[in-house]
Structure 1
Amino acid sequence: MRFFAALPLILALAAAPACAAPQKLQDGPVAAAPAADPGAPLWHFETATPGLVAASCPAGVQNLDPLPIDLMVSPLAAADTARLNALMPSGATLAGAWELSSRNPLFGGLSGLARLPEDEGGGLLAVTDEGHFAWITLEGGAPASAALSAMRRPDGQSFASKQDMDAEGLLYQDGIALVSFERNHRIEAFALGHCGAAARAAQVASLPETQPATQGGRQIDPNQGAEAIFLTPQGTLGFGYEGTLGVSPLGEVLAGGTARWTGVRAPAPRLHGLVAKEIAVHPQTGETLPIYLFRAWDPLRGNRIELRWGEGDPSVIRISRPAPVDNFEGLAAEWLEDGRLRLWIISDDNFNRSQRTLLFAFDISL
């Protein structure tokens, strides 16, 4: 969702310089107060998988394909791609930039993003903040077609209220889509690789309704929830709230279906909030690389994003006007055969005619 929090202060600071001093790319400490229940065991993907599949695809549920929809794919104009290319740091190249649209009114609001494995058709999977999954096929590294399916509640029916359907974060592992939701702050699993669009929501965890005590402990705004969701190399599940004004707290999921703050926060630039985080594990070396997508918005400068994958300016892409930019929220990473890392980002158009669904791909040499 759009970053409207603390708008009066944003307006007051809008004329300030956009670039802050370089900062080390690591999750920073939040002072004081130990995390609640420090001895509670953490949730683990491998341990949880059998139960999630059984709950999401119960006996008797048949595999269901998503509904194909028309997809119009428009590569960005040469002037726009030139502006994006001018922003690339050393070692980064623009692999593609497209605007996506459809006559289907349910297409839009794309938030979380994941790259699907080749044995499951490849392509991209996205979630919408109106409670749908969107499959985007790729041909030659470019988007080609799309399909939609409504997310299903545990009883098999579609979500009926915005309170329950506001999907934001997404990760995909071994046939299971893990989705974080705002408003009704939670994480649910959908075993799409096992029964397709018939998959039902399986509860993973309820998420905090209040900020960490070190940030005042106030009630979480409906649109400042878990935009980011990520798996650690150990198989535990982390999440990050968008937060406000450069303060994006991180948390971890517990085995009992609850969650806690970790006492650290994402390294968000000033006035930016965390909207996506992924930990990329190199398939040969096992080395890990945290990747972050941060977003800011104000009525004077519009949308601004920072995509970070390392320390310092050589490892960050900053996009703002006059370059093409919109409300980017989704992030997915994949390792290419030549050893480079491809980063995909997608924008949430909020189902607003004045906004666009943009899909960008960047190739990173590490």
Structure 2
Amino acid sequence: MRDSGSHKSMDHKDNLDAEGMAIDGDHVLVSFERDHRIATYPLDGFAESEPLKVERPLKGAYTLRGNGGLEAILKSPDDSTIKGAIVWVAERSYNKDGNFIAGVQSGPQKGIFAIERVAPYDVTDGVFLDDGTFLLLERKFGLTDGIGMRIRRFKGEDIAPGKTVSGTVVMEADFSHQIDNMEGLDAFKAEDGSTHLIVVSDDNHSLIERNLMLEFKLVE
């Protein structure tokens, strides 16, 4: 990606802070925080391409933090209740009730909603499944709470402007397991028809963190 589409200086961190990615047909959507935006690239040759378009998160009565704002970006199924719309979820930006700010960029449920936050976790990524539910990957990282990851599952049909959506825990792990700073999540169908999840970590160029790729089978 040659140009992130930021209106700010090309050599500024704001222009480089890509957080999430989703495939939408023959396009790649990338979310950026700090200078919050969603950039659309062609799937074919996206690594060397400039953005085809750039859009801002929906306006509303909320504030996205500079570092901790626009994070996860999800493409909903075309036959879901939100009709293939793009959904985004903030990492550490909360509404007045302390829940994650989220938005639907288009379609019949276009608007701002909230995801229930269950502390001390914050959002790092998400993905829709074929049945219209979606998963959010969350992490905790600190001296007090330790290191942990959690995946929660939500019903896409619960999404509506102004509503707070609650989910159920699919899995939770701490540093007694083989995890690290888990930041990426995707899903795919295996040959036997089961859903598998891929979870990845980022070492952040740190000597005490690792790049990991973990694969799980989702048990219904």
TM over 0.5: yes
Shift of 1:154: 7.3
Contact 1:334 1:343 in 2 (8 A): yes
1:281-335 deviations in Å (ceiling 9; x for gaps): 1xxxxx322111111222134321111236655xx21111222222111110001
The SS at the match of 1:197 is helix
Contact 2:4 2:39 in 1 (8 A): no
Residues 290 and 207 (structure 1), Cα distance of their counterparts in 2 relative to 1, 3 Å cut: same
Question: TM-score, with normalisation over the residues of structure 2?
Answer: 0.77
Query: What is aligned with 1:280?
Result: 129
| Percent sequence identity over aligned pairs | 27
Matches of residues 146-185 of structure 1 in structure 2 within 5 Å?
Answer: 151-153=1-3, 159-185=10-36
Verify: 1:186 aligned to 2:37, yes or no. yes
Letter in 2 for 1:184: D
**Comparing both structures, which one devotes a greater share of its residues to strand?**
2
Matches of residues 49-88 of structure 1 in structure 2 within 5 Å?
Answer: none
Query: What is aligned with 1:207?
Result: 57
Q: Distance in 1 between matches of 2:3 and 2:93?
A: 31
Verify: 1:330 aligned to 2:179, yes or no. no
Matches of residues 233-272 of structure 1 in structure 2 within 5 Å?
Answer: 233=77, 234-243=83-92, 247-254=99-106, 261-262=111-112, 264-272=113-121
Q: Distance in 2 between matches of 1:186 and 1:177?
A: 14
Runs of 4+ with deviation above 4 angstroms: 310-313
Where does structure 2 lack aligned partners over 5 or more consecutive residues? 78-82, 155-166
Verify: 1:320 aligned to 2:170, yes or no. no
Letter in 2 for 1:344: I
Contact 2:147 2:180 in 1 (8 A): yes
Contact 2:64 2:90 in 1 (8 A): no
Contact 1:346 1:360 in 2 (8 A): yes
Contact 2:41 2:53 in 1 (8 A): no
**Comparing both structures, which one devotes a greater share of its residues to helix?**
1
Residues 288 and 261 (structure 1), Cα distance of their counterparts in 2 relative to 1, 3 Å cut: closer
Letter in 2 for 1:248: F
Shift of 1:240: 0.4
Matches of residues 83-162 of structure 1 in structure 2 within 5 Å?
Answer: 151-153=1-3, 159-162=10-13
Verify: 1:342 aligned to 2:196, yes or no. yes
The SS at the match of 1:171 is strand
Shift of 1:208: 5.9
Return the index of the structure with the highest Cα Rg: 1
Contact 2:136 2:152 in 1 (8 A): yes
Letter in 2 for 1:300: T
Residues 268 and 335 (structure 1), Cα distance of their counterparts in 2 relative to 1, 3 Å cut: farther
The SS at the match of 1:180 is strand
Residues 333 and 185 (structure 1), Cα distance of their counterparts in 2 relative to 1, 3 Å cut: same
The SS at the match of 1:201 is coil
Contact 2:141 2:148 in 1 (8 A): yes
Q: Distance in 2 between matches of 1:197 and 1:312?
A: 36
Q: Distance in 1 between matches of 2:204 and 2:212?
A: 12
Q: Distance in 2 between matches of 1:354 and 1:331?
A: 22
The SS at the match of 2:48 is coil
Question: TM-score, with normalisation over the residues of structure 1?
Answer: 0.48
RMSD of aligned Cα (Å): 2.5
Letter in 2 for 1:187: I
Letter in 2 for 1:230: L
Q: Distance in 2 between matches of 1:202 and 1:354?
A: 38
Verify: 1:294 aligned to 2:138, yes or no. yes
Shift of 1:277: 1.8
Contact 1:185 1:208 in 2 (8 A): no
Q: Distance in 2 between matches of 1:154 and 1:179?
A: 9
